[in-house]
């Protein structure tokens, strides 16, 4: 089974991708993890990626497709994969289609996790991250307001700049403008499905599995 999972920042896309990966025994392909893994190889290709990332630029589409090609042909992806964070643009979606056709692979479904902007703003603006271990907390639900310390390692909790309300709203606008053509592309192909992702983690998982006709 080969899937793509779309969703704005803070919708829980990464969480659902991990759950589905385990449930369906398919490989979770996270673009962030892929890039970090390439850099860690310290090959010529990995060093090229490192330079691009360190300069603050986006990795060009042709290089992203090369990485995707390598990952989806790996033994880990033999049973299928779920793409998380790719494609982000129409040219990337078109390039991915060409790649899959060349490999005689087909996408089963593209799932777009939809949620109201203000829910995302509330979720992310209440998120705090441990400076030491990276553990993520929500100050509304995790009861860390009194200490603002990580329960795991005791590190200080802080708010990332891109989790501040004004920045979150800008990120959401960028996401909508960038992905609208991509969603239209997959809608025309007849494989786009949308779900309301405002509920609990389990309820969202159940909705996705229902779409896939899996209990």
Active-site residues, by number, are: 13, 88, 127, 160, 171
182-185-188 Cα angle (round to 5):
150
Neighbours of 132 (CB within 10 A): 13
- Are the C-beta atoms of 182 and 86 separated by less than 8 Å? no
Residue 169 burial (CB < 10 Å; 0-12/13-18/19+)?
middle
Cβ atoms of 43 and 105 closer than 8 Å: no
Query: How far is 154 from 147, CA to CA, in rounded Å?
Result: 9
Q: Where are the beta strands (DSSP E) in the chain?
A: 2-6, 27-30, 81-84, 109-114, 127-130, 136-138, 157-158, 192-196
């Amino acid at each position: 089974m080969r899937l793509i999972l779309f969703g704005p920042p803070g919708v829980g896309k990464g969480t659902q991708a991990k759950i589905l990966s385990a449930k369906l025994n398919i490989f979770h392909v996270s673009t962030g993890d892929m890039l970090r893994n390439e850099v860690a190889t310290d090959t010529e290709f990995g060093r090229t990626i490192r330079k691009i990332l360190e300069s603050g630029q986006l990795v060009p589409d042709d290089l992203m497709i090369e990485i995707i090609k390598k990952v989806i042909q790996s033994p880990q992806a033999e049973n299928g994969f779920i793409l998380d964070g790719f494609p982000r643009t129409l040219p990337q979606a078109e390039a991915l289609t060409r790649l899959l056709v060349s490999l005689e692979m087909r996408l089963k479904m593209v799932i777009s996790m939809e949620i109201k902007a203000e829910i995302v703003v509330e979720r992310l603006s209440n998120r705090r991250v441990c400076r030491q271990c990276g553990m993520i907390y929500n100050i509304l639900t995790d009861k860390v307001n009194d200490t603002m310390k990580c329960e795991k390692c005791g590190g200080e909790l802080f708010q990332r700049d891109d989790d501040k309300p004004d920045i979150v709203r800008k990120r959401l606008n960028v996401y909508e403008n960038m992905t609208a053509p991509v969603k239209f592309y997959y809608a025309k192909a007849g494989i786009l499905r949308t779900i309301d992702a405002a509920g609990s983690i389990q309820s969202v998982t159940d909705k996705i599995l229902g779409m896939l006709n899996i209990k």
